[in-house]
Structure 1
Amino acid sequence: MTRFLPLLDDPQGDLFDALSRIGPVLLQNVSLPLPNNSYVLLDQNSSTDLDQIVAWLDEGAEKVILPLASAKEVIGLIPQERLVLLLDAVSVSAVSDKVRNSVSGVLLKTPEIDLDLISSVSQFFSKSQLFVLIDSPSLPAIYSIKSLLRTGANLILPSSQLTLDVSSATQLNIADVFLAPIVSDRPDGLFPTIVSTETGHSLGLVYSSIESVTESIITGKGVYQSRKHGLWRKGETSGSTQDVVSIRLDCDSDSLEFKVIQHGSGFCHLERQSCFGEASGLSLLEKTLRSRYDTAPEGSYTKRLFNDPELLRSKIMEEADELCRAETADEVAFEAADLFYFALTKCTAYGVGIADIERSLDKKAKRVTRRPGNAKPQWSTPKAVETKKSPTDASIDPEAPIRMHTVTLSVSSEEERALLLRRPVLRSDEMIEKVKPIVSEVRLRGDAALLEFTAKFDKAKLSSTCIFPPYTKESMEIPPNIKAAIDQAYANIKKFHAAQTDGSILKVETMSGVVCSRFARAISRVGLYIPGGTAILPSTALMLGIPAQVAGCKEIIFATPPRSDGTISSEVMYVAHLVGASAILKAGGAQAVAAMAYGTKTVPKVDKIFGPGNQWVTAAKMLVQNDTDAMVSIDMPAGPSEVLVMADHTANPAFVAADLLSQAEHGIDSQVVLVGVDLTPEHLENIEDEVDKQARALSRVDIVRQSIAKSLIVQATSVPEAIEFSNDYAPEHLILHLEDAPDKVQYINNAGSVFVGPFTPESCGDYASGTNHTLPTNGYARQFSGVNTLSFQKHITSQEITPDGLKGLGPIVATLADCEGLQAHANAVRIRLGAMKA
Structure 2
Amino acid sequence: MLVPKIASSAAPAPALQRAIGLLPTALFADPQLACDASGAGHTAAWAGVESLSAVAAALDSGVSVAVLPATQLPADGCGSIDAARIALRYTAADIRAQGLRSVLEAAQTTGIQHAAAVVLELSPTQLDDATACAAGEASPLAQLVRAAGSRLVGASGPVRVLVDLVGDAGAGAWTLDALERVAAVGADAVVAAEQLALDADATPTQLPLAAAFVAASGLVSDRPDGLFTTVVVDEQRVCLGVVYSSAASIAAALGEGQGVYWSRKRGLWHKGLTSGATQTLLGVSVDCDSDVLCFRVSQSGAGFCHHSTRTCFGPAAGISRLAHTVAERRDSAPEGSYTGRLFSDAALLRAKLLEEASELADASEHADVAFEAADLLYFAMVKCAAHGVTLADVERSLDRKHLKVTRRPGNAKPQYVSAAAAPAPVRTSILSADIRPALPGEQTRMRVFADGELSAAERAALIQRPIIDSGEIMRRVRPIVDAVRANGDAAVLELTEKFDRVRLDRVVVRAPFDVPELAPAVRAAIDQAYANVRAFHAAQLDGPLSIETMPGVKCSRFSRAIERVGLYVPGGSAVLPSSALMLGVPAQVAGCREIVLATPPRPDGSIVPEVLYVAHKVGATAIVKAGGAQAIAAMAYGTETVPKVDKICGPGNQYVTAAKMLAQNDTAAMVAIDMPAGPSEVLVVADATSNPAYVASDLLSQAEHGPDSQVVLLTVGLDDAQVAAIEAQVHEQAERLPRVDVVRQSIPKSYCLRMATMRDAMAFSNAYAPEHLILHNDRAADCVDAVVNAGSVFVGPYSPESCGDYASGTNHTLPTYGFSRMYSGVNTATFLKHITAQELTREGLANIGPTVMALAEVEELEAHRNAVAIRLRDM
Indicate conservation of the 8 Å contact 1:518/1:796, yes or no: yes
Q: Distance in 1 between matches of 2:733 and 2:639?
A: 48
Aligned CA distance change for structure 1 residues 724 and 628 (closer, same or farther; 3 Å): same
Q: Secondary structure at the match of 2:715?
A: strand
SS of the aligned residue for 2:677 comes to coil
Q: Which amino acid aligns with 2:832?
A: Q
Q: Which residue of 2 aligns with 1:806?
A: 845
Cα distance in 2, alignment partners of residues 767 and 649 from structure 1:
29
Q: For residue 519 of structure 2, what is the amino acid of its counterpart?
A: P
Asked if 1:602 corresponds to 2:641, the answer is: yes
1:457 corresponding residue in structure 2: 499
1:433 aligns with 2:472: no
| Correspondence for 1:685 | 724
Q: Could you tell me how far apart the structure 2 residues matched to 1:434 and 1:647 are?
A: 42
Contact 1:516 1:799 (C-alpha < 8 Å) held by counterparts: yes
CA contact (8 A) 2:447 2:751 kept: yes
- Rounded to whole Å, the distance in 1 between the matches of 2:239 and 2:712 is 46
Counterpart of 2:577 in structure 1 is: 538
* Alpha-carbon displacement from aligned partner over 1:17-60 (angstroms, at most 9, x marks no partner): xxxxxxxxxxxxxxxxxxxxxxxxxxxxxxxxxxxxxxxxxxxx
Write the letter of the residue equivalent to 1:832: R
- Matching residue of 1:626: 665
Alignment equivalent of 1:579, drawn from 611, 618, 628: 618
* Equivalent residue in structure 1 for 2:532, among 482, 492, 496: 492
Structure 2: distance between partners of 1:369 and 1:707: 46
- Does 2:798 correspond to 1:759? yes
User: What residue is the counterpart of 1:517 in the other structure?
Assistant: 556
Q: Distance in 1 between matches of 2:784 and 2:663?
A: 37
Equivalent runs, 1:97-108 vs 2, <5 Å: none
Deviation string, structure 1 residues 205-253 (Cα, Å, up to 9, x no partner)? xxxxxxxxxxxxxxxxxxxxxxxxxxxxxx9998868999xxxxxxxxx
Q: Which amino acid aligns with 2:566?
A: G
Q: Structure 1 residues 511, 575: closer, same or farther in 2, change over 3 A?
A: same
Q: 1:699 maps to what in 2?
A: 738
TM-fit CA distance, 1:510: 1.2
Residue 289 to residue 721, structure 1, CA distance change in 2 (3 Å) = closer
CA distance in 1, matches of 2:279, 2:752: 40
The alpha-carbon deviation at position 262 of structure 1 amounts to: 2.7
Give % identity.
56
Structure 1 partner of 2:226: none
- Which residue identity is paired with 2:509? I
Assess, with a 3 A threshold, how the Cα gap between structure 1 residues 436 and 657 changes in structure 2: closer, same or farther. same
Aligned positions of 1:623-772 closer than 5 A: 623-772=662-811
Q: How does 1:781-796 map to 2 (within 5 A)?
A: 781-796=820-835
* Residue from 448, 451, 476 that aligns with 1:409: 451
Aligned ranges 1:545-556 → 2 under 5 Å = 545-556=584-595
In structure 2, relative to structure 1, the CA distance for the partners of 1:747 and 1:198 (3 Å cut) is farther
Structure 1 residues 675 and 756: CA distance shift in structure 2, 3 A: same
State whether residues 197 and 262 of structure 1, in contact with CA within 8 Å, keep that contact through their aligned partners in structure 2.
no
Contact 2:771/2:814 (<8 A) preserved: yes
Q: C-alpha separation between the residues in 1 aligned to 2:547 and 2:577?
A: 43
What SS does the aligned partner of 2:596 have? strand
Distance (whole Å) between structure 1 residues aligned to residue 649 and residue 524 of structure 2: 26
The question of 1:480 aligning with 2:520 is answered yes
* 1:196 CA displacement: 10
Deviation, 1:199, is: 3.9
Cα gap change, 1:364/1:416 in structure 2, threshold over 3 Å: closer, same or farther?
farther
Q: How many residues are matched?
A: 507
Q: Distance in 2 between matches of 1:571 and 1:793?
A: 27
Give SS of 2:541's match: coil
Matches for 1:51-70 after TM superposition, within 5 Å? none
Give the distance between the partners of 1:697 and 1:362, measured in 2 at CA.
Answer: 54
Question: Is 1:470 aligned with 2:509?
Answer: no
Contact 2:485 2:633 in 1 (8 A): yes
Aligned to 2:140: none
> Aligned to 1:617, which of 656, 661, 679?
656
TM-score by length of structure 1 reads 0.57
Whole-Å Cα distance in 2 between the matches of residues 369 and 501 of structure 1? 77
Call closer, same or farther: CA 1:459–1:724 in 2, change over 3 Å. same
Distance 1:243 1:505, change over 3 A: farther
Q: Distance in 1 between matches of 2:440 and 2:394?
A: 31
CA distance in 1, matches of 2:711, 2:393: 33
Q: Is the 8 A contact 2:473 2:655 kept in 1?
A: yes
Superposed displacement of residue 459, structure 1: 1.1
Give the Cα separation in 2 of the matches to 1:579 and 1:658.
32
**Secondary structure of the structure 2 residue equivalent to 1:398:** coil
Q: Distance in 1 between matches of 2:278 and 2:776?
A: 51
Q: Cα gap change, 1:718/1:577 in structure 2, threshold over 3 Å: closer, same or farther? A: same
Alignment of 1:293-308 (within 5 A): none
Residues 506 and 284 (structure 1), Cα distance of their counterparts in 2 relative to 1, 3 Å cut: closer
Q: Match of 1:660, as an amino acid? A: L
Q: Distance in 2 between matches of 1:237 and 1:812?
A: 62
Shift of 1:597: 0.2
> How has the CA–CA distance of structure 1 residues 395 and 364 changed in structure 2, closer, same or farther, with 3 Å as cutoff?
farther
Q: TM-score, normalised by structure 2?
A: 0.54
Q: How far is 1:261 from its partner?
A: 5.5
Contact 1:264–1:433 (8 Å) recurs in 2: no
Cα separation, 2, equivalents of 1:832 and 1:737: 64
Return the alpha-carbon distance in structure 1 between the equivalents of residues 395 and 769 of structure 2: 40
User: Matched residue of 1:559: which SS?
Assistant: strand
Q: Which has the larger radius of gyration?
A: 2
Q: In 2, are the aligned partners of 1:264 and 1:434 still within 8 Å (CA)?
A: no
CA displacement at 1:744 relative to structure 2: 0.7
Instruction: Kindly indicate whether the alpha-carbon contact (under 8 Å) linking 2:445 and 2:748 is maintained by their aligned counterparts in 1.
Output: yes
One-letter code aligned to 1:834: R
Equivalent pair of 1:394/1:401 in contact (CA under 8 Å)? no
How many Å apart are 1:774 and its aligned residue? 0.2
Distance in 2, Cα, partners of 1:537 & 1:360 = 51
In structure 2, the gaps of 5 or more residues are: 1-59, 62-231, 241-270, 281-295, 319-373, 375-384, 403-409, 413-431
Q: Secondary structure at the match of 1:657?
A: helix
CA offset at residue 480 of structure 1? Answer: 0.4
Secondary structure at the aligned position of 2:602 is classed as coil
Residues 619 and 264 of structure 1: is their aligned pair in 2 closer, same or farther, counting only changes over 3 Å?
A: farther
Q: Which runs of 5+ in 1 are unaligned?
A: 1-79, 82-194, 204-234, 245-256, 291-346, 348-354, 371-389
Residue 508 of structure 1 and its aligned partner are, at CA, apart by: 1.5
Structure 1 contact 498–789 (Cα < 8 Å) conserved: yes
Please report the RMSD computed on the Cα atoms of aligned residues, expressed in angstroms.
Answer: 3.6
Deviations 1:466-500 (A, max 9, x none): 11111114xx1110000000000000100000000
User: Deviation at 1:286?
Assistant: 5.9
Whether the 8 Å CA contact 1:200–1:259 is kept in 2: the answer is no
Distance 1:561 1:430 in 2: 24
Q: 2:557 aligns to what SS in structure 1?
A: strand
| Residue 442 (structure 2) aligned to one of 373, 394, 400 | 400
Query: Which residue identity is paired with 2:592?
Result: C
Shift of 1:397: 2.2
Inter-CA distance 358–497: structure 2 relative to 1 (3 Å threshold): farther
Measure, in 1, the Cα distance between the counterparts of 2:308 and 2:819: 37
Secondary structure, counterpart of 1:655 in structure 2: helix
Question: Distance in 2 between the 1:364 and 1:656 partners?
Answer: 54
Equivalent residues of 1:391, 1:403 under 8 A apart: no
1:511–1:273 CA distance, 2 compared to 1 (3 A): closer
